Amino acid sequence: GQQLNQSPQSMFIQEGEDVSMNCTSSSIFNTWLWYKQEPGEGPVLLIALYKAGELTSNGRLTAQFGITRKDSFLNISASIPSDVGIYFCAGLGAGSYQLTFGKGTKLSVIP
């Protein structure tokens, strides 16, 4: 089955720093999604990407759909304490109804 490798697994950063995380796959995806999950909550969709090369922003968050269609990146600029949580990438292959999720990047922000 399709697998996504998400890295890093966890990050500890100082408030105000920029953050980068990425997701890679051995197969092509037609859609990339980035979610954030906070404790006791379900994943919340942050950004959806539908075209190779697409760069989309949502406030301080920017995500890119890799040209090869096998990877995606999420950047968070000027991190703040409320950015804490687990960030998941997810991909949807051609004709697939199933999202494949990465294992998540746990972000901790030190004030």
Residue 52 interacting with another protein (CB under 8 A): no
Query: According to CB under 8 A, which residues from 56 to 75 bind another protein?
Result: none
Long-range contacts of 24-27 (CB under 8 A, 24+ apart): 24/70, 24/71, 25/70, 25/71, 25/91, 25/100, 26/2, 26/70, 27/2, 27/70, 27/93
- Would you count residue 45 as binding another protein (CB under 8 A)? yes
Q: Which is nearer to another protein, 90 or 107 (CB)?
A: 90
Q: Which of 60, 70, 103, 106 binds another protein (CB under 8 A)?
A: 103
Q: Closest approach of Cβ 87 to another protein, in Å?
A: 12
| Residue 28 is a binding residue for another protein (CB under 8 A) | no
